[in-house]
Structure 1
């Protein structure tokens, strides 16, 4: 059943203005929604419908200027506004009231989810309605479990959309396409041939006015738990029978269940946390994170997180998975890098500079590349080549794809309840050890490559990410 009514709580926030409104305009331009579609925005501001439409038009001009003007006007015209406290059942009921089902989008801080879901329960949603929640889903394992219980009392699991826009990105989906549609890759997609997988989201952006949210979350929850574990699932999952919601999501949960839990010793040796100090980034000065407006330095929130995981499975025993994300770094690096093992023998002499193959899925910008070794001008010499293909632009932005799935009732790309809990299970030992101070909070200058590399210990390459090195075949 297709829903034609969307209610957004938190409708005056950055998420709505930057992503949801342009996504709706893209859907309108593509003919995926029509004049029967309506949008109701709800927030605490004392606005009326006219002021909200003016705000929406300004946001679309700023963040969706490349979209057709007619589509932007149609989305703005479809919008209405109600002042509402998301924790007040009477206010919430007034927003969602009606005979037709409604898709309720909670564009809110995660801390408000339980109260908002409770208010929705008391407000009595129309039959057939759906709930959309942004990740991170809860603030820890216990919180995720409690939120799942609240949602189960409200709507069926099939009507809950725990969305992660990473899963709707073209290149992220191409990870599955490259693996499962190419005979040359799937037979070698295992620990016999792959030494390490790096999943990286390094960005030059600093806090950018998000202290109210970010300082309560940090890089580990905001990016690693929130997005990078999803990429891990797509890279490491067993081939599903189909891409239907049950088959795909079952295989993703299998990956998370196979992650070996880190001990305190593991956390101390396989994770890092840091925050940026003052520096120069992208031709402008960046203050130290602790000095950013709205930051409470006593929270010791990290802006850089790195975690090394291992999977206890036939396919992946012996392969390292490194998940890393940082803010205010010297360059944007957003990719999944699959590093293959070295060949067992080279007949070209021992003085050749030969690096193992690396298959890279660029996330932003979206690309696909393969680093290979080939012969140079003389047959006895070798050279390094990078074969790169840029991806065709998607027909819809990531949030457009997610909203379309919500309206059409396709939950394949949303996070199932058990998957949300398993993701927290993986990172709970890290969160606990960090809270107890077992891993120091390092610092790195804004505009740098991140924390200084650790000194490598014999038989181990702890500096791997920072020097772009490659694991030897016998590591």
Structure 2
């Protein structure tokens, strides 16, 4: 286990909201000892005392979800060192010594390439690891170039392209539910499953993130990484084990099976939109283009939806719909597996009976199954929901990710070829949107999103 962690960009939002609390959770669980070193760096002209005061305030701001001793251990372990990540001499001082360390690049994606180039010239100690947040690259070409740069610094097994969705306990429950339960395993195919919806709808608006979001958009921010990763877990073939190679090989097979978009497909199977002014609960929300820092000429989408088809034996004929949106009327974060109707309904009025749906709630963490139960009269039927609240995880997602980084278990990180393949899936959509071949729709904040498309009348 590595006992040195360097956070580059240690005064940013990612560190404040996720990395410091993740470390506090590890201390609370007894996963880190007194010899753990936390080197925090940024371009700000701070010293260690200033940083410790700031870090303590960030942990206090987020509430007391961990013991006081864990908070104190994080603060006392932190050592601040001013550093420009593009300055080779400064980076050499940062990584000095022969002991391996994990370098967490808590930076905007556009800075990854110059940061990795500097790490190469500074020469990391043998056994070191590099951690990068999503999105990995800005398109396929940049992802390929970044992979080549990383390969010159550390071996592939030492690169952690982290996606915190993979560390969510409910997402992992998808694997347990479908692979460890025979009642589900035998019906987990297109013969029984009509469609799968992977949804991340949220009431949150831009929340002062225009500097990042307005140059990224919903498709790159959520679909290309988070939701495609969930799709992998839902649809991949059973791995031999949950070890790093077996799990990631099966995920890669699943991504390669996605049918490439044609020009006609993009128009029919993708949607984009952005929110107008409206109300969400008791809040009045301005239109996206009026949010602070937004450039309206970029035509950035806040809602994105794509429908994917898989060309393999298990899933031929089952559509997978991935959807995300901001400023919607309700939070809906779930995987909804819709089963086909029974072949024959002997009770009549079959059209009134809703389909069976298995729902994996991502936030909050729930598992439910929609069935048909008895109604109040003889041979009458009513919807019945069986629901369970998932037990709380031992560690929050970022605590789990940091644990995997420090112990060297890369099973929950994204392999280089996997990151590139995910870009190949969405690039035709991005190109069509850039060229205006798919209209940018609009929806009022607080609504359910853009109006449903009218299906063509049957012949």
For the aligned pair, the TM-score class normalised by the smaller chain equals over 0.9
Q: Which residue of 1 aligns with 2:349?
A: 350
Residues in 2 aligned to 1:327 and 1:282: alpha-carbon distance in whole angstroms: 14
Contact residue 337 and residue 358 of structure 1 kept, 8 A: yes
Residues in 1 aligned to 2:217 and 2:281: alpha-carbon distance in whole angstroms: 22
Residues in 2 aligned to 1:317 and 1:438: alpha-carbon distance in whole angstroms: 27
Query: For this pair of structures, how many residues does the alignment match?
Result: 459
Deviations 1:44-81 (A, max 9, x none): 21111111101100111112522111100100000011
Residues in 2 aligned to 1:236 and 1:389: alpha-carbon distance in whole angstroms: 23
Q: Which residue of 2 aligns with 1:70?
A: 69
Q: Which residue of 2 aligns with 1:147?
A: 146
Residues in 1 aligned to 2:457 and 2:398: alpha-carbon distance in whole angstroms: 46
Aligned: 1:458 with 2:457: yes
Deviation at 1:38, TM superposition (A): 1.3
Q: Which residue of 2 aligns with 1:18?
A: 17
Residues in 1 aligned to 2:75 and 2:399: alpha-carbon distance in whole angstroms: 16
**Within 5 A, what are the aligned runs for 1:173-188?**
173-188=172-187
Residues in 2 aligned to 1:382 and 1:149: alpha-carbon distance in whole angstroms: 59
Deviation at 1:459, TM superposition (A): 5.5
Q: Which residue of 1 aligns with 2:384?
A: 385
Residues in 2 aligned to 1:348 and 1:300: alpha-carbon distance in whole angstroms: 51
Q: Which residue of 2 aligns with 1:225?
A: 224
Deviation at 1:96, TM superposition (A): 1.5
Deviation at 1:376, TM superposition (A): 1.8
Local SS of the residue matching 1:139? coil
**Within 5 A, what are the aligned runs for 1:297-336?**
297-336=296-335
Contact residue 353 and residue 382 of structure 1 kept, 8 A: no
Local SS of the residue matching 2:182? coil
Residues in 2 aligned to 1:323 and 1:91: alpha-carbon distance in whole angstroms: 43
Local SS of the residue matching 2:352? coil
Deviations 1:399-426 (A, max 9, x none): 0000000000000000001100000000
Local SS of the residue matching 1:191? coil
Q: Which residue of 1 aligns with 2:197?
A: 198
Deviations 1:291-320 (A, max 9, x none): 111111111110000000000000000000
Q: Which residue of 1 aligns with 2:271?
A: 272
CA distance 1:172–1:358, shift in 2 (3 Å): same
Q: Which residue of 1 aligns with 2:367?
A: 368
Deviation at 1:42, TM superposition (A): 1.0
Normalised to the residue count of structure 1, the TM-score between the two structures is 0.95
Contact residue 17 and residue 63 of structure 1 kept, 8 A: no
Aligned: 1:246 with 2:245: yes
Please identify runs of 4+ aligned residues in structure 1 that moved more than 6 A: none
Q: Which residue of 2 aligns with 1:470?
A: none
Residues in 1 aligned to 2:351 and 2:128: alpha-carbon distance in whole angstroms: 63
Deviation at 1:378, TM superposition (A): 2.9
Aligned-residue Cα RMSD (Å) equals 1.1
Structure 1 alignment gaps of length 5 or more = 461-475
Q: Which residue of 2 aligns with 1:466?
A: none
Q: Which residue of 2 aligns with 1:158?
A: 157
Deviation at 1:377, TM superposition (A): 2.8
Residues in 2 aligned to 1:402 and 1:185: alpha-carbon distance in whole angstroms: 29
Residues in 2 aligned to 1:94 and 1:282: alpha-carbon distance in whole angstroms: 51
Residues in 1 aligned to 2:280 and 2:207: alpha-carbon distance in whole angstroms: 13
Deviation at 1:25, TM superposition (A): 0.3
Residues in 1 aligned to 2:57 and 2:10: alpha-carbon distance in whole angstroms: 14
Normalised to the residue count of structure 2, the TM-score between the two structures is 0.99
Deviation at 1:351, TM superposition (A): 6.2
Structure 2 alignment gaps of length 5 or more = none
